[in-house]
Amino acid sequence: MRAKVKEELESWLGSARVRVRVPVPVPVPVPVPVPVPVPVPVPVPVLVLVLVQDGTLFDSKSDVIMV
Protein backbone atom coordinates (compact mmCIF):
# COMPACT_ATOMS: atom_id res chain seq x y z
CA MET A 1 0.00 0.00 0.00
CA ARG A 2 2.75 2.44 0.95
CA ALA A 3 4.65 1.65 -2.24
CA LYS A 4 1.57 2.34 -4.33
CA VAL A 5 0.97 5.67 -2.60
CA LYS A 6 4.64 6.57 -3.07
CA GLU A 7 4.46 5.74 -6.77
CA GLU A 8 1.36 7.87 -7.22
CA LEU A 9 2.94 10.80 -5.40
CA GLU A 10 6.10 10.52 -7.47
CA SER A 11 4.05 10.45 -10.66
CA TRP A 12 2.25 13.63 -9.55
CA LEU A 13 5.36 15.46 -8.38
CA GLY A 14 7.64 14.32 -11.19
CA SER A 15 11.19 13.45 -10.19
CA ALA A 16 10.83 14.98 -6.73
CA ARG A 17 11.98 12.70 -3.96
CA VAL A 18 9.03 11.44 -1.96
CA ARG A 19 9.19 9.78 1.41
CA VAL A 20 6.08 8.23 2.86
CA ARG A 21 5.90 7.97 6.62
CA VAL A 22 3.34 6.21 8.70
CA PRO A 23 1.75 8.81 10.95
CA VAL A 24 2.67 8.19 14.57
CA PRO A 25 0.56 9.75 17.29
CA VAL A 26 2.69 12.42 18.94
CA PRO A 27 1.56 14.16 22.11
CA VAL A 28 0.91 17.77 21.19
CA PRO A 29 0.53 20.37 23.94
CA VAL A 30 -3.05 21.61 23.84
CA PRO A 31 -3.72 25.08 25.21
CA VAL A 32 -5.89 24.81 28.28
CA PRO A 33 -8.47 27.56 28.65
CA VAL A 34 -7.57 29.74 31.61
CA PRO A 35 -10.35 31.70 33.27
CA VAL A 36 -9.83 35.36 32.44
CA PRO A 37 -11.84 38.05 34.18
CA VAL A 38 -14.20 39.48 31.60
CA PRO A 39 -16.21 42.61 32.33
CA VAL A 40 -19.84 41.57 32.53
CA PRO A 41 -22.43 44.19 31.68
CA VAL A 42 -24.33 45.09 34.84
CA PRO A 43 -27.65 46.91 34.72
CA VAL A 44 -26.80 50.55 35.35
CA PRO A 45 -29.26 53.42 35.25
CA VAL A 46 -28.42 55.50 32.24
CA LEU A 47 -29.64 59.03 31.85
CA VAL A 48 -30.89 59.37 28.33
CA LEU A 49 -31.31 62.67 26.60
CA VAL A 50 -34.49 62.59 24.61
CA LEU A 51 -34.74 64.58 21.43
CA VAL A 52 -38.10 66.31 21.39
CA GLN A 53 -39.97 67.17 18.22
CA ASP A 54 -39.03 70.83 18.43
CA GLY A 55 -35.34 69.91 18.44
CA THR A 56 -34.61 70.78 22.08
CA LEU A 57 -32.90 68.35 24.42
CA PHE A 58 -34.17 67.68 27.89
CA ASP A 59 -33.53 65.17 30.61
CA SER A 60 -35.78 64.22 33.48
CA LYS A 61 -36.34 61.33 35.83
CA SER A 62 -38.74 59.81 33.33
CA ASP A 63 -35.83 59.45 30.91
CA VAL A 64 -33.76 57.23 33.23
CA ILE A 65 -33.92 53.72 31.86
CA MET A 66 -32.27 50.46 32.77
CA VAL A 67 -29.92 49.15 30.10
pLDDT at 22: 62
Would you give the DSSP letter of residue 40?
P
Residues 6+ apart with CB under 8 A from 63: 47, 48, 49, 50
User: What are the structural domain ranges in the chain?
Assistant: 1-65
Mean pLDDT of 21-29: 67
* Band (52; pLDDT cuts 50, 70, 90): very low
Mean pLDDT confidence for 15-39: 65
Who has greater pLDDT, 54 or 15? 15
Among candidates 67, 6, 63, which has minimal Cα distance to 41?
67
User: For residue 18, is pLDDT > 60?
Assistant: no
pLDDT average, residue stretch 37-58:
55
Q: In the prediction, which pLDDT does 7 show?
A: 76
Query: What's the distance, CA 62 to chain centroid?
Result: 40
